Amino acid sequence: MKLLTVVGARPQFVKASAVSRVLRKTHTEILVHTGQHYDRNMSAVFFDELDIPHPDYNLGVGSASHGRQTGEMLIKIEEILLREKPDAVLVYGDTNSTLAGALAASKLLIPVAHVEAGLRSYNKAMPEEQNRVLTDHISHFLFCPTETAVGNLKKEGVTENVYNTGDVMADALFHYREISGRKFESVGLGALNPLFENTSNLNNGYILCTIHRAENTAGERKLENILAALEQLPLPVIFPTHPRIREQLADLQKKHGYKNIRFVEPVGYLYMIYLASHAQKIVTDSGGLQKEAYLLKVPCVTVRDQTEWVETLHGGWNILAAANTEDILQKAARVRPDEAQWRACYGGGDAAEKISRFLSASL
């Protein structure tokens, strides 16, 4: 069977690495990279360290407004679909690359398989929510990470070809956790040395933070409030920065001279897992990182009004905070998980196997 996979943004490389490894044992896969993420440390690094096959097509779409970016992808993906004539198209998650891949395929009546289907924040102002709702409703196969996601689809009348496979990001984490540990065991936080003058005070514990969502970074105010909280946390904060806020951060750093926050360039997946597993706490607005925190049993504060990964909230492992200084500080002090309430709710690391089997049986 010939499958065509569309990826474009950092978390999709991680998800596709887990699925491609399994799919390619029995199927032919054509890999299309839209070029939505293009910086070396947002893209190539992931292909190298996760051993992802080189993309068959790189569309080089890059950054633009949502409409232009999605539109350019749509035009280029359609051309490739007409040439390659795949049996199905695989898309991941909720980015503009996901929607473009799904829409191009659906218009040509090629079945779309959506991996990470059924997640909802019920906040339609988020570009991700728009992308995932639209993609789910034009997909033929809906591979859900959780029972909650299956239930969300049911509420919208989507019940056919809906499978709870478990989460492919859990597959990736289980697969790479040990590899990451072995790789960074001896160097540890020293890998940050070229970036900091001195990492010694991090050895007594640190908080890992990532913030990049449009809802927290559009305009200066919210980001400034979040940083004010990080500056007052009782442990130093390691903050790998997304390029979209590089300039904003530089301006705010000049204005406030943060001392407790250590901004570093984005790190690869393997080092991110290392940093996450050794952190005292995590503060983030990333869907992937809040779930990795849960799977690694690290307490997490998610700076958002809602989460699609509601299971992480059970037992207080993850707690939501508004983008305001007091709330983040309060929640960071409060996040104290109950070990007894941790549940293995994201599958056993075999989501990719299930996806491959469902596709083989149905196409």
Q: Is residue 212 annotated as a catalytic residue, yes or no?
A: yes
Q: Residue 284 corresponds to which tokens in the numbers above? A: 């983030």
Closer by beta carbon to ligand UD1, 96 or else 318? 96
Residues of this chain that interact with ligand UD1 (CB under 6 A) are 9-11, 36-39, 42, 63, 94-96, 127-128, 212, 243-244
**Shortest CB 245 distance to ligand UD1, Å:** 8
**Residue from 212, 242, 256, 278 carrying the catalytic annotation:** 212
SS (H, E, C) 16-43: HHHHHHHHHHHCEEEEEECCCCCCHHHC
Going by their DSSP bridges, the two strands 237-240 and 162-164 should be labelled as unpaired
Closer by beta carbon to ligand UD1, 60 or else 348? 60
* Tokens 């887990």 found at: 18
Closer by beta carbon to ligand UD1, 125 or else 340? 125
CB distance 17 to 50 below 8 Å: yes
Closer by beta carbon to ligand UD1, 146 or else 217? 217
CB distance 330 to 233 below 8 Å: no
Closer by beta carbon to ligand UD1, 65 or else 186? 65
Rounded to 5°, angle at Cα 224 from 218 and 229: 130
Residues 6+ positions from 332 with CB-CB distance below 8 Å: 207, 229, 233, 281, 283, 301, 321
**Shortest CB 23 distance to ligand UD1, Å:** 23
**Shortest CB 83 distance to ligand UD1, Å:** 25
**Shortest CB 43 distance to ligand UD1, Å:** 6
CA dihedral 296, 300, 305, 308 (to 10 degrees): 10
Residues with catalytic function:
212
